[in-house]
Amino acid sequence: MSPNRSTPRKVVIVGAGAVGATFAYALAQSGAANQITLIDNNEKLAEGQVADLSHGLPYYPSVSIESGTAKDYGDAQVIVITAGSAQRSGETRLDLLKRNASIIEGIMDDIIEQQSRAIVVVVTNPVDVLTQVALRHSRWSRGHIFGSGTVLDSARFRYFISQEMGIDVKSVHAYILGEHGDSELPAWSLTNLGGVSIQQYVASNGLQEQWPKRSQEIFEDVKNSAYHIIDYKGATNFAVGQALVRIVQAILRDSNSVLTVSVMLKGEYGLEDICLSVPCIVSKDGIERVLVANLSEAEQQALHHSASVLKESMAGLQE
Ligand code: NAD
C-alpha cells in the first residue's frame, strides 16, 4: 500500500476537550484550514463540539467541520494531538506521564497504520517528553513530529513585557526557551522592542535600577500563568488555541515562520537526544531548520539545566 496523499489544508484535532475545541474554533475563524476534523474517545463530546462549531458556519470563512475516526489521519495535512487525561486523585506525575505516553503511542500507531504523511504537532502535557515519546515510537524524522513547546509561553512573555513597557505586543520580540514547564528560561539576550534590545531600551528610559527585580517578576508571571489560570478557571484554552493556529498556519501557508516549538536536538546548543524549545523555522514540511541563537553564558547554562530536567523525566518513563 502506498502512503496516503494528504488533502490540502485538512487538519485533524485529536482530543475535543477544552484545548482541542478552542483551537478548532480559532482555526475556523482564521480561514487557514479547508477541513477541520475532531476525534475524541468520547464520541458524543466530539459530535457535540462539531455541531456547536458548525452552527457558526454562516459567519466563518468557508470550512468544513466534522467529527472523525482514525481513518481521517490518512489524508490529513496536519494532525494536532491534544488528547490526554487529567491527573487522578492519588496519582503521581509520573503515573500520569505514563498514562499520557501510552495514549500518545496508541494515537501514533493509528496514524502510522493509516499511512499518513501528516505533520504531527503534540500539545498534550508534558509536551516535551511526549513529543520525544511520539518520535521514538514512530521513528519519524524530527521535522515531521514536534511539540507546541513554548510558543504559548513566548506569547505570554511578549504580553507581559508589552504591558510593562507600554508598547504594542506585536512590536515586542521575545522568546521563552527550554522545557514548557518549570525549568523554562527567558532569552533576554534575544529580546527587543522594534529592534532596540531590551537592555538598551531599559538604559535609555532610566529603568536600570528596578529592572533586575522587574525582569525577574515578569518571568515569574510567565512561568506561573498556567497555574494561576487553572486555579481560577480549571484549564487554559484561549491563548493556547491561538498559539496552535499560529503553528498550523505556518505549516498550511508554508510561511517559514520562526517559532519556539519543541524539537529533538541533534547537537545544536551542545545538546543531543532531547526535545525542548528553541527557535525553529516552520514550513509545510514541519521543522525546516533549527536556529542556533547566540545565547548568553547564563542562558546557555539554564538551557542545559532544562535539558537535564527533561532527561530525568524521560528516564523515569523508561523505569
Ligand atoms: P481535556 O480533558 O478537556 O480534553 C482532553 C480530551 O482528550 C478529552 O476530551 C478526552 O476524552 C480526550 N482523550 C483522551 N484520550 C484520548 C484518546 N486516546 N484519543 C482521543 N481522545 C482522547 O483537557 P484539555 O484542557 O483540552 O487539555 C488537553 C491537553 O493539553 C492536556 O495534556 C493539557 O495539559 C495540554 N495543554 C498543553 C498546552 C501547551 O502549551 N502545550 C497548553 C494547555 C494545555
Q: Whose CA is nearest to atom 30 of ligand 1?
A: 124
Confidence of residue 3 (pLDDT cuts 50, 70, 90): confident
Which residue type is seen at 84? G
Condensed to tens digits (0 to 9), the pLDDT of residues 81-105 reads 999 987 676 777 788 899 999 999 9
Condensed to tens digits (0 to 9), the pLDDT of residues 24-48 reads 999 999 999 999 999 999 999 999 9
Condensed to tens digits (0 to 9), the pLDDT of residues 265-310 reads 999 999 999 999 999 999 999 999 999 999 999 999 999 999 999 9
Atom of ligand 1 nearest to the CA of 18: 26
Q: What is the mean pLDDT of residues 206-229?
A: 95
pTM recorded for the entire structure:
0.97
pLDDT recorded at residue 1:
53
Residue in 153, 157, 93, 154 with CA at minimum distance from that of residue 129: 93
Ligand 1: centre distance to CA 162 (Å): 30
CATH assignment, 151-317 = 3.90.110.10
Q: What is the mean pLDDT of residues 218-227?
A: 94
Is it the case that residue 209 has pLDDT exceeding 90? yes
Instruction: Find out whether the beta carbon of 19 lies less than 6 Å from any atom of ligand 1.
Output: yes
Rg of the chain on CA atoms, in Å: 19
Ligand 1: centre distance to CA 57 (Å): 25
Q: Whose CA is nearest to atom 9 of ligand 1?
A: 17
Q: Which of 55, 144, 173, 180 is catalytic?
A: 180
Atom of ligand 1 nearest to the CA of 20: 26
Ligand 1: centre distance to CA 200 (Å): 41
Ligand 1: centre distance to CA 270 (Å): 32
Q: What is the mean pLDDT of residues 228-245?
A: 94
Q: Whose CA is nearest to atom 27 of ligand 1?
A: 19
Q: Whose CA is nearest to atom 4 of ligand 1?
A: 17
Residue in 77, 145, 82, 68 with CA at minimum distance from that of residue 117: 77
Instruction: Find out whether the beta carbon of 123 lies less than 6 Å from any atom of ligand 1.
Output: yes
Here the cell at position 16 is 475535543
Instruction: Find out whether the beta carbon of 20 lies less than 6 Å from any atom of ligand 1.
Output: yes
Is it the case that residue 225 has pLDDT exceeding 60? yes
Condensed to tens digits (0 to 9), the pLDDT of residues 6-16 reads 888 999 999 99
Residue in 131, 140, 104, 154 with CA at minimum distance from that of residue 263: 131
The mean pLDDT of the chain is 95
CA–CA dist 123, 236 (Å, integer): 12
Q: What are phi and psi of 291, to 5 degrees?
A: -90, 135
Query: Which residues 6+ apart lie within 8 Å of 1 measured at CB?
Result: 115
Q: What is the mean pLDDT of residues 68-88?
A: 93
Instruction: Find out whether the beta carbon of 16 lies less than 6 Å from any atom of ligand 1.
Output: yes
Burial of 311 (0-12, 13-18, 19+ CB in 10 A): middle
Q: Whose CA is nearest to atom 31 of ligand 1?
A: 124
Confidence of residue 2 (pLDDT cuts 50, 70, 90): low
CA–CA dist 59, 53 (Å, integer): 11
In a mutational test of the pocket of ligand 1, which residue from 12, 93, 122, 123 has the highest number of ligand atoms less than 8 Å from its CB? 123
Q: Whose CA is nearest to atom 29 of ligand 1?
A: 124
Condensed to tens digits (0 to 9), the pLDDT of residues 136-180 reads 999 999 999 999 999 999 999 999 999 999 999 999 999 999 999
Residue in 205, 234, 241 with CA at minimum distance from that of residue 123: 241
| 305 part of the active site | no
Percent of the residues in the chain that have a pLDDT greater than 90, as a whole number: 90
Dihedral angle, C-alpha 184, 185, 186, 188, nearest 10 °: -160
pLDDT recorded at residue 44:
98
- Say how many C-beta atoms besides its own lie within 10 A of residue 208's C-beta: 11
In a mutational test of the pocket of ligand 1, which residue from 42, 82, 132, 150 has the highest number of ligand atoms less than 8 Å from its CB? 82
Ligand 1: centre distance to CA 215 (Å): 32
C-alpha count within 13 angstroms, C-beta hemisphere, residue 96: 15
For residue 260, the SS3 value is: coil
- Say how many C-beta atoms besides its own lie within 10 A of residue 29's C-beta: 15
Give me the residue spans of the domains in the chain.
10-147, 151-317
Ligand 1: centre distance to CA 80 (Å): 11
CA–CA dist 243, 166 (Å, integer): 22
CATH 3.40.50.720 fits 10-147, yes or no: yes
